[in-house]
A and B are shown apart, each in its own frame.
Chain A
């Protein structure tokens, strides 16, 4: 682990320039990657909360000048006076100093202008002065050396910078969230959607069913409540189809390269979208009869109307992407064939295998025992002839379990019961979805774990459960449940649906797996953020790579894979470019400080989209969340603090 020469990160100064002390990054809880791709060591990092110097030889004055130049010339939006002019003055002042033209009064100017930048409209320019001020304060002698003509600018250094924001960084697809929210503030919904589509081609989906990890990193929450980032995305996405507008994207000239994408789920669609925009000829195959993968058959229509999912897929098809349905890899076509016929392959095959519960009777083939939540949801979604009986027990605490209990109600069951071994607080499902289920009269049996299926005449009539008690927190931080001996009892039911997770089904890899490695959770191994497997030209992403995760993770994978595949197709090598590399460095480092004092007052409530309320809604598949009126969206967008910031590394 690299030694830290100097750090002012988080307003905590650690200075080992003289003492040569022994603080390393880990001991300071700084997750700074210490090398940059294969180009060299990270010499220093400048960012929104200070500077970290790892290489003693770093010229922090030169770096400050370069940092401010990039902030002003590449990122400053010019939409507030202090930011637009102030950073220019700082840039020019620092440039003057490093070119030997500075005066000592310039240091006062830097401090004075930096102070004025606290009045900026957003945090981009406001935070950019923090590392610069830290250098003036802690590296004053280096400045004086320049001012006295004792030092001159070193030979060109390599710097890499990245614009980010806490939400944008936390989003697995790294959508430029402040940008799309800013457009909504200005009533520019088309431009907002344009900003979203730079990273996310299925906005109608992620505007509805994204677990929105971004909102956990929203600085507005430090003032009052987080911005309703997901719903604002929906507003932008809905605006387009609600006005019968055609999307504006136009693919680049054809490259002549052919790509096959396996799976029309979020990862596959995303990968196809960005490859098609680059001019590659893309074909998608999918085992289902419609697009969307798990989103189509795993998320019920009352949360994600499929006509909008289909529209997002049609938009991708309109870019020249061919989609063939009903074709399953390993059954109808082999990976070997695909590899031979195409210049690159993307595997986005999802995770469709339900995990077993490990209870007695599970393998007995009882009538009334579902193969799994995902199977049940798919059967309903595809209109397969299944009958949902009067009493249904769903086992699990995740979103799929919640979807199952709510779908069961819509399929005519009278008692829809969710059995979960921990308490409501520990449920991995989104709290609002649990609330929604409760509003629809779903019954919850918390701290209960199934131990045995009870069957009569080979037909399930109940589940024996054991009462659980919460013990100490486990590795995930959740308190692990322990069975209370002798507390078993039976809950009668007609159908049991286990919904405790899914695994990828990688049977298609077979014996000729081209060296593609799997994890012990039977997911595909990819390398170094390029999403390329150990087989050159074969990429993978989404649930089949990560294990069952979220739509937005799949989108992030699909986009990253498309970028790497484009380089593979055009340059013969899949690698990370500076944007990818800095995205990963910043993501690893983290851009959100939950303890920050934002310094403004709030009291503005988060705006919520209207919703059909009451148990009545559980009688149909009509979307329960209604469109947020645009004027309300503008009001919500106004709450965004635009927490932009720029991080920059010096590569030693």
Chain B
């Protein structure tokens, strides 16, 4: 700690802190404009200047470290004059369009002018500002409003790592420019802009900032569940922001957080219950719809499927309705093909129900391994935290992926492996760590019950064979092992490529074993993080929405039909009524088989908020709501429980999902009804983290050979991360629809140009879509995103698989 004096007041602060931080700590306000705590100091505006005894020149307090014995003055006639004149300079050629400027009322330039009594503008200069840039998707840039604080540039580079923004040109012509190919449309530039320079096109001219009510809630576009503020007026959601400093995500949002919730007001919203008679659906009142649904459910031969848009309360009530209300155990969720695989193995081997608690530990890790995951698309907050560990905290990063992902550029060891060989890579690294003596033998001995099995499993790994099989050099494997083995703390992030693949047990087993030998489960930093699951997948599993899990997430003694078995039972006629809440089987693997099976059902009851090809098939549609219209809680992939706030009234006649489920329960089993207090107590009980188990168990890791080329790989695209993106205008503005991404060399070989149709044929049939040429996709691979109805990759993927050997041709 050092001691200094600010305005005569004695202040103590840790060494290295700035004068500004010291002043803030002691409650002395120094005005700022370009200062943004979460990025490196820019020192652009010079408004935070202070006098320091011994220095002739005023010093910018935002980037001058406080020193022992320093005497600082923050207010003086000289400083006031400088501040005032600097502000006057900022106003030179600043347009007088405040009445229609988006930032009006929440503009830091306005505030600072007001605060410093800047009422005139004595300086003149030729207006050489660039014209407004209106051609970018979603974001508009108005250079003459810019104060060149570079907050946008820095947040884009230092936090998001997109590095799309830069200062272009010199002198007064300088403006913020963008490399559109790098932009992730996260809107963080808009959020940090102190003026109306970077503005959101969808929000422009829609509302005045001061008219909007801010309602704190939680983003449910992925499992990270960032904390957000919903800005609403007249039952309409106008924008979403997040606050720096106080939120778990430090105010940072991704595309889906900032722009992606426009589906809330989509014309596809279901606004009234529908009942099918013949081939047409007609609007009915709730009583009629609920009666019909209750009757069908009570008719037996029932199964139920839930999606990850349900809250914890809804999820609990969902399984309660079927298990207690209807005595039906045939219920499952879409996590069956995804997170539940990781969940089950983590529970079995490590006694964990999902990943390590707390994403913040990733940023604190000395090394981060990102394997079979694309955090940029699957969990953007994990992308930023992984970068933070390396950029700000000198951590090391290893990236293992079948494609080149955004994080590859930040990796110390970037590895492009053959699709499906991630487990081979993990096993090889684990063996090398053990061989080099870099594992903590004492800890392993004390904590791993079957250490011999671990040693045997790893001893069976032949490094050179592994290198050949995964297509990564031995040197890179050794470098990764050295780096992960030596790091005092390790975070392992794995995603859909690991747990969605058909041979997931061996692959995931290798990742778990690597977690053991690399020390990822030791200490207070780092951990093991499955990412890429949907909004509340973790909550669904904890509430027991699975054929084989009880509420609380423990394995069930007797299991009902799981997703695959439900499908077979529908096909065989053993299930005649299917209830689907917040999920879409047409987006499940083997979607064409689902389509046929669904047509055979006697009654298909769908509870959802958006109309789709699937809801069109329903006999009964119960319109639910989006996350802004309901309250409840959700559980993040890192076990944080967050509240949702009902910020606006429900859309039309739609009802909160909890109410719909409750109404159904009241009709089928009134005795099983729960009071609100009972429900919240159950949710709380089920949400508890499992007690740490005494010993960990290494996993078996039967590793299969990677698939022969060419291979189709399905995964997440940021702009189609969830089914709701299909109703998002913002998503379509950035990426118009589904695509088939190919290496340019492969495309040239097929004679396919960008945008031309390509045909991909698997054992389940053919899929056509426009080609996207991407050097990030290696030769011999094609990548197709999930959640695009127009190029539905699930149509040609078998159950429980994310990759298949296929034939690729020009369509």
Residues of A at under 8 Å CB distance from B?
72-82, 84-89, 91-92, 109, 112-113, 116, 118-121, 185-188, 242-245, 597, 599-601, 603-604, 629-631, 634-635, 638
Q: Do A74 and B170 have beta carbons less than 8 Å apart?
A: yes
Q: Do A631 and B40 have beta carbons less than 8 Å apart?
A: no
Contact of B157 with A by CB under 8 A: yes
Across the interface, A600 reaches (CB within 8 A) one of B55, B90, B148, namely: B55
Cβ–Cβ < 8 Å partners of A244 in chain B: 411-414, 476
Cβ–Cβ < 8 Å partners of A73 in chain B: 170-171, 173
Q: Do A92 and B125 have beta carbons less than 8 Å apart?
A: yes
Q: Do A80 and B44 have beta carbons less than 8 Å apart?
A: yes
Q: Do B125 and A76 have beta carbons less than 8 Å apart?
A: no
| Complex: chain B residue closest to A239, CB-CB | B412
Across the interface, A79 reaches (CB within 8 A) one of B16, B148, B392, namely: B148
Q: Tell me how many residue pairs across A and B have CB atoms closer than 8 Å.
A: 142
Q: Sorted from nearest, which 3 A-B pairs have the closest CB atoms? A: A78-B174, A599-B56, A88-B172
Q: Do A631 and B410 have beta carbons less than 8 Å apart?
A: no
Across the interface, B89 reaches (CB within 8 A) one of A82, A243, A638, namely: A82
Across the interface, A186 reaches (CB within 8 A) one of B40, B65, B392, namely: B40
Complex Cα gap A76–B128 (Å): 14
Q: Do A119 and B170 have beta carbons less than 8 Å apart?
A: no
Complex Cα gap A599–B55 (Å): 5
Nearest CB in chain A: distance from B600 CB, A: 54
Given contacts A78-B167, A188-B157, A600-B55, contact A631 B394 (CB under 8 A): yes
Nearest CB in chain B: distance from A67 CB, A: 14
Across the interface, B40 reaches (CB within 8 A) one of A77, A113, A185, A629, namely: A185
Cβ–Cβ < 8 Å partners of A597 in chain B: 56
Give 21 CB contacts A-B under 8 Å: A75-B171, A76-B170, A76-B171, A78-B170, A81-B45, A85-B90, A88-B128, A92-B124, A116-B85, A119-B57, A119-B82, A119-B86, A121-B43, A121-B44, A121-B46, A186-B40, A243-B412, A244-B414, A634-B40, A635-B16, A638-B63
Across the interface, B150 reaches (CB within 8 A) one of A72, A74, A79, A245, namely: A79
Cβ–Cβ < 8 Å partners of A603 in chain B: 67
Complex Cα gap A73–B414 (Å): 41
Across the interface, A89 reaches (CB within 8 A) one of B70, B92, B412, namely: B92
Interface size class for chain B? 35 or more
Contact of B713 with A by CB under 8 A: no
Contact of B49 with A by CB under 8 A: yes
Cβ–Cβ < 8 Å partners of A112 in chain B: 85
Give 13 A-B pairs besides A88-B125, A116-B85, A599-B55 with Cβ atoms closer than 8 angstroms: A72-B172, A77-B174, A80-B43, A80-B46, A81-B90, A84-B172, A85-B90, A85-B123, A116-B89, A243-B412, A601-B52, A630-B394, A638-B63
Contact of B147 with A by CB under 8 A: yes
Q: Do B171 and A87 have beta carbons less than 8 Å apart?
A: yes
Complex Cα gap A85–B148 (Å): 11
| Complex: chain B residue closest to A125, CB-CB | B171
Cβ–Cβ < 8 Å partners of B429 in chain A: none
Complex Cα gap A185–B150 (Å): 13
Contact of B393 with A by CB under 8 A: yes
0/1 string, B378-412, CB within 8 A of A gives 1:
00000000000001111000000000000001111
Complex Cα gap A243–B476 (Å): 11
Q: Do B45 and A92 have beta carbons less than 8 Å apart?
A: no
Nearest CB in chain A: distance from B59 CB, A: 6
Cβ–Cβ < 8 Å partners of B154 in chain A: 186
Cβ–Cβ < 8 Å partners of B41 in chain A: 638
0/1 string, B32-69, CB within 8 A of A gives 1:
00000000111111100100101111111001010100
Across the interface, B171 reaches (CB within 8 A) one of A78, A109, A186, A243, namely: A78
Given contacts A80-B46, A244-B413, contact A88 B171 (CB under 8 A): yes
Which of A88, A244, A245 neighbours the largest number of chain B CB atoms within 10 Å of its CB? A88
Cβ–Cβ < 8 Å partners of B63 in chain A: 638
| Complex: chain A residue closest to B153, CB-CB | A186
Complex Cα gap A72–B173 (Å): 9
Complex Cα gap A77–B174 (Å): 8
Question: B434-477: which residues lie under 8 A (CB-CB) from chain A?
Answer: 476
Residues of B at under 8 Å CB distance from A?
16, 40-46, 49, 52, 54-60, 63, 65, 67, 70, 82, 85-86, 89-90, 92, 123-126, 128, 147-148, 150, 154, 157-158, 167, 169-174, 391-394, 409-414, 476
Q: Do A81 and B412 have beta carbons less than 8 Å apart?
A: no
Q: Do B44 and A81 have beta carbons less than 8 Å apart?
A: yes
| Complex: chain B residue closest to A599, CB-CB | B56
Cβ–Cβ < 8 Å partners of A243 in chain B: 409-412, 414
Complex Cα gap A369–B157 (Å): 59
Q: Do B52 and A89 have beta carbons less than 8 Å apart?
A: no
Cβ–Cβ < 8 Å partners of B49 in chain A: 119
Complex Cα gap A638–B40 (Å): 10
Given contacts A80-B45, A81-B46, A186-B154, contact A116 B170 (CB under 8 A): no
Nearest CB in chain A: distance from B78 CB, A: 10
Cβ–Cβ < 8 Å partners of A81 in chain B: 44-46, 86, 89-90, 147-148
Complex Cα gap A492–B441 (Å): 52
Across the interface, A85 reaches (CB within 8 A) one of B89, B157, B158, B412, namely: B89
Complex Cα gap A187–B154 (Å): 9
Complex Cα gap A91–B414 (Å): 49
Nearest CB in chain B: distance from A163 CB, A: 11
| Complex: chain A residue closest to B81, CB-CB | A116
| Complex: chain B residue closest to A118, CB-CB | B57
Nearest CB in chain A: distance from B366 CB, A: 11
Complex Cα gap A599–B59 (Å): 10
Complex Cα gap A42–B441 (Å): 75
Complex Cα gap A188–B167 (Å): 14
Complex Cα gap A76–B54 (Å): 29
Cβ–Cβ < 8 Å partners of B410 in chain A: 243
Nearest CB in chain A: distance from B745 CB, A: 17
| Complex: chain B residue closest to A95, CB-CB | B126
Given contacts A243-B410, A601-B52, A601-B55, contact A631 B124 (CB under 8 A): no
Cβ–Cβ < 8 Å partners of B169 in chain A: 78
Across the interface, A631 reaches (CB within 8 A) one of B123, B167, B170, B393, namely: B393
Cβ–Cβ < 8 Å partners of A91 in chain B: 125
Cβ–Cβ < 8 Å partners of B392 in chain A: 631
Nearest CB in chain A: distance from B787 CB, A: 32
Nearest CB in chain A: distance from B157 CB, A: 7
Cβ–Cβ < 8 Å partners of A638 in chain B: 41, 63
Complex Cα gap A119–B90 (Å): 14
Given contacts A116-B85, A600-B59, contact A75 B170 (CB under 8 A): yes
Q: Do B65 and A599 have beta carbons less than 8 Å apart?
A: no
Q: Do A85 and B172 have beta carbons less than 8 Å apart?
A: yes
Nearest CB in chain A: distance from B510 CB, A: 23
| Complex: chain A residue closest to B147, CB-CB | A81
Complex Cα gap A129–B417 (Å): 58
Cβ–Cβ < 8 Å partners of A245 in chain B: 409
Nearest CB in chain A: distance from B798 CB, A: 36
Cβ–Cβ < 8 Å partners of B58 in chain A: 118-119
Q: Do B157 and A629 have beta carbons less than 8 Å apart?
A: no
Q: Do A119 and B46 have beta carbons less than 8 Å apart?
A: yes
| Complex: chain A residue closest to B85, CB-CB | A116
| Complex: chain A residue closest to B169, CB-CB | A78
Q: Do B59 and A78 have beta carbons less than 8 Å apart?
A: no
Q: Do B167 and A599 have beta carbons less than 8 Å apart?
A: no
| Complex: chain A residue closest to B149, CB-CB | A81
Q: Do A85 and B125 have beta carbons less than 8 Å apart?
A: yes
| Complex: chain B residue closest to A632, CB-CB | B394
Cβ–Cβ < 8 Å partners of B67 in chain A: 601, 603-604
Nearest CB in chain A: distance from B424 CB, A: 20
Cβ–Cβ < 8 Å partners of A77 in chain B: 167, 170, 174
Complex Cα gap A245–B409 (Å): 8
Cβ–Cβ < 8 Å partners of B46 in chain A: 80-82, 119-121
Nearest CB in chain A: distance from B669 CB, A: 59
Nearest CB in chain B: distance from A489 CB, A: 52
| Complex: chain A residue closest to B396, CB-CB | A242
Cβ–Cβ < 8 Å partners of A242 in chain B: 412
Cβ–Cβ < 8 Å partners of B44 in chain A: 79-81, 121
